[in-house]
Amino acid sequence: MSKDREFLWRRLHSLLGVIPVGLFLVFHLSLNFTAVGGEQAYNDATGVMELVPHSLLLLIEWVVIYIPLLFHAFYGVYIAFTATPNTGRFSTYRNWMFSLQRFTGVFLVIFIAWHIFQTRIQKALGTDVNFNMMEEIVANPFMLGFYIVGILSATFHLTNGLWAFLVSWGITQSPQSQKIATYVTNILFVILSVVGVAAILAFV
Amino acid sequence: MIAANTGRMVKVEILRQDTTSGNGYWQKFEVPYRHGMNVISILMEIQKNPVTENGEKTTPVAWDMNCLEEVCGACSMVINGRPRQSCSTLVDQLTEPIKLEPMKTFPVIRDLQVDRERMFNALKKVKAWVPIDGTYDLGEGPRMPEGKRQWAYELSKCMTCGVCMEACPNVSEKASFIGPAPLSQVRLFNTHPTGAMIKDERLNAIMGDGGLANCGNSQNCVAACPKGIPLTTSIASLNRATTVQMFRNFFGSDHFVD
Q: For B230-255, write each residue's pLDDT tens digit.
A: 999 999 999 999 999 999 999 998 88
**What was the pLDDT predicted at B5?**
67
Same domain membership, residue B96 and residue B179: no
**What was the pLDDT predicted at B222?**
97
Domain assignment present for B13: yes
Domain assignment present for B2: no
Same domain membership, residue B18 and residue B131: no
**A13 marked among binding-site residues:** no
Structural domain including A21 reads 6-201
pLDDT surpasses 80 at B1: no
Q: Do A90 and B175 touch (CB under 8 A)?
A: no
**Chain-centre distance of CA A111, in angstroms?**
10
Same domain membership, residue B160 and residue B90: no
Domain assignment present for A1: no
Mean pLDDT for the stretch of residues A136-153: 97
In terms of Cα–Cα distance, which of B198, B178, B190 is closest to B241? B190
Average pLDDT, chain A: 95
**A54 marked among binding-site residues:** no
With contacts defined as CB-CB under 8 Å, which chain B residues touch A3?
A: 209
State how far residue A89 is from chain B, nearest Cα, in angstroms: 6
Nearest Cβ partner for B243 among A3, A101, A170:
A170
pLDDT surpasses 60 at B3: no
Q: What is the pLDDT of residues B84-119, one digit of tens each?
A: 999 999 999 999 999 999 999 999 999 999 999 999
Structural domain including B102 reads 9-114
Mean pLDDT for the stretch of residues A91-114: 98
Q: What does the alpha-carbon distance between residue A173 and residue B240 come to, in Å, rounded to a whole number?
A: 8
Q: What is the pTM of this model?
A: 0.94
Mean pLDDT for the stretch of residues B180-202: 95
Same domain membership, residue B137 and residue B73: no
Residue where one domain finishes, among candidates B99, B114, B129: B114
Same domain membership, residue B241 and residue B129: yes
Same domain membership, residue B91 and residue B164: no
**What was the pLDDT predicted at A1?**
44
**What was the pLDDT predicted at B111?**
97
Question: What is the CATH number for B165?
Answer: 1.10.1060.10
With contacts defined as CB-CB under 8 Å, which chain A residues touch B219?
A: 92, 94-95, 98
* Domain count of the fold of chain B: 2
State how far residue A80 is from chain B, nearest Cα, in angstroms: 10
Q: Do A89 and B81 touch (CB under 8 A)?
A: yes
Domain assignment present for A18: yes
Q: What count of other Cβ atoms lies within 10 Å of the Cβ of residue B111? A: 24
Domain assignment present for B3: no
pLDDT surpasses 50 at A199: yes
Same domain membership, residue B133 and residue B107: no
β-pairing verdict for B9-16 and B98-101: parallel
Q: Using the CB atoms, write b or e for B140-163: b if 16+ within 10 Å.
A: eeeeeeeeeeeebeebbebbbbbb
Same domain membership, residue B54 and residue B89: yes
Nearest Cβ partner for A6 among B213, B236, B241:
B213
Same domain membership, residue B128 and residue B97: no
Residue where one domain finishes, among candidates B86, B114, B142: B114
Domain assignment present for A83: yes
pLDDT surpasses 50 at A66: yes
Domain assignment present for A30: yes
Q: Do B242 and A167 touch (CB under 8 A)?
A: no
pLDDT surpasses 90 at B258: no
* Domain count of the fold of chain A: 1
Residue where one domain finishes, among candidates B114, B149, B173: B114
Same domain membership, residue B100 and residue B163: no
Cβ-based burial of A91 (10 A; exposed 0-12, middle 13-18, buried ≥19): exposed
Domain assignment present for B132: yes
**A157 marked among binding-site residues:** yes
Nearest Cβ partner for A92 among B223, B230, B243:
B223
Q: Do B233 and A10 touch (CB under 8 A)?
A: no
Residue pair A68/A12 in contact (Cβ under 8 Å)? The answer is no
With contacts defined as CB-CB under 8 Å, which chain B residues touch A172?
A: 236
Residue pair A20/A68 in contact (Cβ under 8 Å)? The answer is yes
With contacts defined as CB-CB under 8 Å, which chain B residues touch A4?
A: 207-209
Q: What does the alpha-carbon distance between residue B12 and residue B77 come to, in Å, rounded to a whole number?
A: 14
**What was the pLDDT predicted at B15?**
98
| Inter-CA distances, B54 with A44, B57, B97, B243, Å | 79, 9, 15, 59
Nearest Cβ partner for B169 among A8, A83, A178:
A83
Q: What does the alpha-carbon distance between residue B247 and residue B57 come to, in Å, rounded to a whole number?
A: 63
Nearest Cβ partner for B167 among A88, A90, A178:
A90
- Strands across the sheet with B82-85, in order? B25-32, B9-16, B98-101, B76-79, B82-85
Same domain membership, residue B139 and residue B103: no
Q: B4: pLDDT confidence band, cut at 50, 70 and 90?
A: low
**A115 marked among binding-site residues:** yes
With contacts defined as CB-CB under 8 Å, which chain B residues touch A170?
A: 236-243
